[in-house]
Amino acid sequence: MHSYDDQNIFAKILRGEIPNKTVTETEHTLAFEDIAPQAPTHVLVIPKGAYVTYDHFAAEASDAEIADFTRTVGRICNEAGLAAGNGYRLISNAGEDAVQEVPHFHVHIVGGRPLGRILGKA
């Protein structure tokens, strides 16, 4: 069961109540700069629909939303020069153990520096 809190910060960004530095916007997807970047490129990609986590999005989003989101992530990796450069990492935190801060599904695209191994210590 996924209950969506429409007062989360990304919902406010989608409603235009909080400004953002938009990287790209499509029919179903918004991508913007992370406010506290952890790498030279740190973009957040979110669906416009009300989904909490990856599994929620995968289960309930339409094929059109999923295709649009997936292609937008890939396009940004290309346009940011990461795909043809030294690469990138996609991260999607869900729930408490992953320390998900904002309960609106998002993928982090990070790159532009060596990122180390996938997981640090808790």
Write out the residues near ligand 5GP by the rule CB under 6 A. 9, 18, 20, 32-36, 44, 93, 99-102
Give Cβ neighbours of residue 64 (< 8 Å, ≥ 6 apart). 27, 28
* CB of 39 or CB of 61, closer to ligand 5GP: 39
* CB of 24 or CB of 93, closer to ligand 5GP: 93
* CB of 28 or CB of 106, closer to ligand 5GP: 106
Write down the least CB distance from residue 98 to ligand 5GP, Å. Answer: 7
Write down the least CB distance from residue 81 to ligand 5GP, Å. Answer: 21
Is residue 106 among the annotated active site residues? yes
The active-site residue, picked from 28, 56, 104, 106, is 106
Nearest one of 80, 71, 78, 92 to 29, comparing CA atoms: 71
Secondary structure E strands in the chain: 22-25, 29-33, 41-47, 88-91, 107-111
Write down the least CB distance from residue 10 to ligand 5GP, Å. Answer: 8
Number of H helices, E strands in the chain: 3, 5
Alpha helices (H) along 31-62: 54-60
Write the single-letter amino acid at 46. Answer: I
Query: Catalytic site residues?
Result: 106
